[in-house]
Amino acid sequence: GAGVSQSPSNKVTEKGKDVELRCDPISGHTALYWYRQSLGQGLEFLIYFQGNSAPDKSGLPSDRFSAERTGGSVSTLTIQRTQQEDSAVYLCASSLDPRISGVSYNEQFFGPGTRLTVL
Amino acid sequence: AQKITQTQPGMFVQEKEAVTLDCTYDTSDPSYGLFWYKQPSSGEMIFLIYQGSYDQQNATEGRYSLNFQKARKSANLVISASQLGDSAMYFCAMRGTNTNAGKSTFGDGTTLTVKP
């Protein structure tokens, strides 16, 4: 079946502009995650959605970052007034409900990422 | 708060030999999950293996096994019979359960190079 898809694959923008990154999770996955990966670094958690519960926004680095998930499916990560330090690869992942123990509920499936470059 | 430490920035292994990638962790959650992911140069993140903190046995998936030592807070990845295609960055990660189930913490990664 179809995996997690993200668009665009690459985005170049000018400092101060707003950008929107899109994620389409695997159908039936109730959990959706956004991460940021700077060059040569590990993944930095940004936000987590689970079903209709309030999202865990604890990883968002500033109030310029926001995300929403419409209809429990597609998610959009918005970065306002982009800065050069926002340049990174933004990865989206989805899974079954991770609150249930067991590998099948905890395996996250990642999209190919969006490479954001802020000039 | 959760913390993952991977102390080996780079590792080399001869093809067909076994290699151990180190991972130590710290958490205040009584129940948690530990993960390993592989990231080839293409950039995709590939799930390898999962260990629940209350699982009685160490997890295994094909050539991958997780050497889980709870008292030492370590979750080392063992790759047996290394192949050239195993050359990649490897990340150890963890997350809690229930309300903390969604927030994963990743280590800085280990770059593994398999020599022919």
CB atoms within 10 A of CB A71: 5
User: DSSP characters for A10-53?
Assistant: EEEE-TT--EEEEEE--TT--EEEEEEE-TT--EEEEEEEETTS
Output the pLDDT for position A107.
86
Say what the pLDDT of residue A110 is. Answer: 95
Tally of CA atoms within 13 A in the half-sphere of A33 that contains its CB: 26
Q: Chain A: give the shortest CA distance to residue B28, in Å.
A: 17
- The DSSP annotation for A56-109 comes to B-TT--STTEEEEEGGGS-EEEEE-S--GGG-EEEEEEEES-TTS-SHHHH--E
The nearest alpha carbon in chain B to A89 belongs to B43
pLDDT at A1: 56
* Per-residue pLDDT tens over the stretch A47-67: 999 988 889 999 999 999 999
**pLDDT tens readout for residues B81-110:** 999 999 999 999 998 877 778 889 999 999
Question: Is A5 in CB contact (< 8 Å) with chain B?
Answer: no
Pairwise CB contact (< 8 Å): B95 & A41: no
In angstroms, the separation between the Cα of residue B63 and the nearest Cα of chain A is 17
CB contact at 8 A, A67 and A46? yes
Instruction: Reply yes or no on whether the pLDDT at A118 is more than 80.
Output: yes
Q: What is the pLDDT of residues A1-33, one digit of tens each?
A: 589 999 999 999 999 999 999 999 999 999 999
**Residues in chain B, pLDDT under 70:** none
pLDDT band for position A40 (cuts 50, 70, 90): confident
**Calpha distance B73→B51 (Å, rounded):** 12
pLDDT, residue B98, reads 73
User: Could you give the angle at the alpha carbon of A26 between the alpha carbons of A23 and A27, nearest 5°?
Assistant: 115
pLDDT digits (tens, 9 = 90+) for A67-112: 999 887 999 999 999 999 999 999 999 999 888 767 667 789 999 9
| Chain A contact for B91 (CB, 8 A cutoff) | yes
